[in-house]
Amino acid sequence: MEYLPNILFALLLVAGIGYFARNVKRLSRNIKLGKRVDVSDNTSQRWKNMARIALGQNKMVVRPIAGFLHIIVYVGFVIINIEVLEIILDGLLGTHRLFGFLGGFYNVLIGSFEILAFLVIVAVVIFWVRRNAIRLQRFVKPEMKGWPKKDGNWILYIELILMFLFLTMNAADYQLQLKGAAHYANEAGIIGAFPVSGFMAPLLEDMSIANLIIVERAAWWLHIMGILFFLNYLYYSKHLHILLAFPNTYYGSLKPKGQFKNLESVTNEVKLMMDPEADPFAAPADDAPDPEKFGASDVSDLSWVQLLNAYTCTECGRCTSECPANQTGKKLSPRKIMMDTRDRLEEVGKNIDANNGSFVADDKQLLDDYISREELWACTSCNACVEACPVSIDPLSIIMDMRQYLVMEQSAAPSDLNNMMGNIENNGAPWPFNQMDRLNWAQES
Amino acid sequence: MGSELKVPTMAELFASGQQPEVLFWVGCAGSFDDRAKKITKAFIKILNKANVSFAVLGTEESCTGDPAKRAGNEFLFQMQAMTNIEVMNSYEIKKVVTACPHCFNTIKNEYPGLGGTYEVVHHTQFLKQLLEDGKITLEGGKFKGKRITYHDPCYLGRANNVYEAPRELIQKLDAELVEMKNCRKKGLCCGAGGAQMFKEPEKGDKDVNIERTEQAMETSPQIIAAACPFCNTMMTDGVKNKEKEASVAVMDIAELIAGAEDL
Ligand code: SF4
Ligand code: SF4
């Protein structure tokens, strides 16, 4: 019986990590539904971007308040995880503060974890106020109703609870050490420093050792269970960005933002058309592949990087708040483009799961069922959303791919644009002027 | 208006065995739009004054395909691109300057993949270089002390990271450059890009150009400087909408420079 807690802990750990691994597998399967693109170039620049944007958070601080608070939570999260390592080892081995032998250094570590935990609590409270009391514009847009809104708050509650449990655990432990409780106290003196939980200690002073142990153990177990829960919550949440921000910034575009990709399939056809030697009536070779679909009407027409983008989106709305179309009351919201893409991708993924690994047509697609044409045609291709995104997401590329589908597969451009394109085709200008008059201005005074 | 414009065409120069240093890509707006033609002429005057060896394609120029591409018609875009590239390559063009950020972006970034690789500069970069090389001088001070706010074209700024050349030129005019609350990387679009110029806007509370004009007006400018013919149209419409055309002028950087020189 003595080892029961260790065994229970090991089981919990295996279950938590196992379920997480299952989600990671699903995630990568879904992302791979996207088209292949070659992003193997320029690795050194890519590593630099990742270091600067994801690790260094340099785009977050464009908005100083949110950026500063986010850095606290981010640093807190990364550093406090060092402590989780000790907690896991303690749990498996039945030890208490395994790393205590580090002495003074250990005290500095625990002390700084506590201060960070406190700062995280402060930051999280401010975040909550911004979302729910001040109701900052970008958090209350239409696409943030329902689950996205709950998700945003849930994350804050979970973080708050985790930090609170961590501090409670330390406070109880500190009392136990002061009272010389077996297993907790150490001849060397107090292990760890408790600059924050020290203030909570008076609340626990009058408790018996037995009750303190209950408090300490309860906080310890709930804390680690909370962490495992959080790990598995990620897949269903915008919080997935804490993992995917890294690959996403690595695979982000390295080209000038104005450079849109040239479709190779089109290039081949245009070359053929312009080649005076090509026989336009030649029958296609028997082994010719099916003509490629132009543009995107569903998630599988997008590239895997665009799908990774969708899973990485933090739903922060920085893109939407910079979007000229959105600012002037149009339906378009680049954040919604990303959220819709993720939702549809999830739907496709579930369909595949339910049908033994193959997709069964469901009469739905990203276009129209999620993203309306009205949204797509409102974009000015200004790149404000791309510039604003703190994790290198490119909503504009999805908009453009979907326009390509509308125009090249469906001939469904707004009539004004059809006129414009007709003019280009016939006169070499978007207006109905004659190409032969192109130099007339030089003669006009 | 002063002396005649000298506008050599590639075909003429080629026939007499000459090769100009730079091709001035005029663009559709610069060729056909009444407002933009004035920008074209202002730029030509500066080129003439500085004795720049240049030429235009004239009737051999055709739309770069930018609006077609942003509208989703990759096919039409590539047809246009390849036709233009064929013409430019036949004249062995090395360097291109244009007063339109859309042409600039398309030729600079999207033509190389289709076989057209040139050194492409925007006219604000070109003018800055002329100034640095001493080919033009800016004195006179016609714009001295004037409050000028500069609107960043999306396809020059965010799309290609050109933020400073136009600003430096404005400062060289001894003018007072005032920034809007959204500028440089955060510059707000004028509403014309992505083929919006050629269609009615979607339903909303406001037109984008009005929003941007309001931002410009907050700086109480005497002049709104633009560096794109489409931005120019949008901002001019915005100023008219606010009934401010008597006190606020919308001018291209080339017009400012030409104006300062009294060309
Ligand atoms: S590129 Fe389109 S979606 Fe992105 S900010 Fe500009 S208008 Fe909005
Ligand atoms: S796309 Fe980027 S900026 Fe927009 S909501 Fe997602 S993470 Fe934020």
pLDDT in tens, A34-49: 999 999 999 999 999 9
The reply to whether A205 falls in a domain is yes
Residue B29 has a CB neighbour count (10 Å cut-off) of 27
> Mean per-residue pLDDT for B58-80?
97
CA of A258 from ligand 1 middle (Å) equals: 12
Q: Judge if A339 and A224 occupy the same domain.
A: no
Closest CA to A441 of B164, B36, B77: B36
Q: Judge if A268 and A227 occupy the same domain.
A: no
Q: Judge if A346 and A400 occupy the same domain.
A: yes
Q: Determine the pLDDT at residue A33.
A: 97
Q: Are the beta carbons of A344 and A299 closer than 8 angstroms?
A: yes
**ipTM for the complex shown:** 0.95
Tell me which chain B residue has its CA closest to the CA of residue A318: B186
Interface of A with B in 293-322 (CB under 8 A): 294-295, 322
CATH number of B136-260: 3.40.50
Atom of ligand 2 minimally distant from the CA of A334 = 4
In A, which residues are within 8 Å of B207 by CB distance? 328
* b/e code A152-187 from CB counts within 10 Å (16+ = b): bebbbebbbebbbbbbbbbbbbbbbbeeebeebbee
Q: Judge if A93 and A213 occupy the same domain.
A: yes
> Sorting pLDDT into bands at 50, 70 and 90, what band is A226?
very high
Q: Determine the pLDDT at residue A188.
A: 75
> Mean per-residue pLDDT for A294-305?
97
Q: Does A13 touch chain B (CB under 8 A)?
A: no
SS3 content of chain A, % helix, strand, coil (to 5): 65, 0, 35
The reply to whether A258 falls in a domain is no
Atom of ligand 2 minimally distant from the CA of A388 = 3
Residue range(s) of every CATH 3.40.50.1860 domain in chain B: 10-130
- For a ligand 1 pocket test, name from A321, A332, A387 the mutation site with the most ligand atoms within 8 angstroms of its C-beta: A332
List CB contacts of A273: < 8 A, sequence separation 6 or more.
A280, B79
CB of A382 closer than 6 A to ligand 1?
A: yes
The reply to whether A439 falls in a domain is no
The alpha carbon of residue A60 is apart from the nearest alpha carbon of chain B, in Å, by 14
Task: Closest CB to B205: pick one of A329, A383, A416.
Answer: A329
User: Which residues lie across from B176 on neighbouring strands?
Assistant: B147
The reply to whether A42 falls in a domain is no
Q: Are the beta carbons of A312 and A354 closer than 8 angstroms?
A: no
The reply to whether A372 falls in a domain is yes
> Sorting pLDDT into bands at 50, 70 and 90, what band is B1?
very low
CATH fold group of domain B10-130: Rossmann fold (3.40.50)
> Mean per-residue pLDDT for B38-59?
96
CA distances from A272 to B66, B74, B125 (A): 22, 15, 37
Residue A195 tokens, joined: 């600059």
CA of A127 from ligand 1 middle (Å) equals: 26
Quote the number of domains for chain A.
2
What DSSP line would sit under A167-225, residue for residue?
HHHHHHHHHHHHTT-TTT--TT---S--TTGGGTHHHHTTS-HHHHHHHHHHHHHHHHH
What DSSP line would sit under B122-179, residue for residue?
EHHHHHHHHHHTTSS---S-TTTT-EEEEPPPTTTTTTT---HHHHHHHHHTT-EEE-
Q: Determine the pLDDT at residue B138.
A: 82
pLDDT in tens, B198-253: 999 999 999 999 999 999 999 999 999 999 999 999 999 999 999 999 999 999 99
Task: Closest CB to B191: pick one of A324, A406, A437.
Answer: A324
Task: Closest CB to A263: pick one of B74, B83, B206.
Answer: B74
The reply to whether A243 falls in a domain is no
Domain with A310, as residue range(s), is 264-277+292-433
Q: Are the beta carbons of A124 and A160 closer than 8 angstroms?
A: yes
Q: Judge if A23 and A111 occupy the same domain.
A: yes
Q: Which helix (H) or strand (E) holds A338?
A: helix A334-354
Q: Judge if A233 and A361 occupy the same domain.
A: no
> Sorting pLDDT into bands at 50, 70 and 90, what band is B3?
low
pLDDT in tens, A399-409: 999 999 999 99
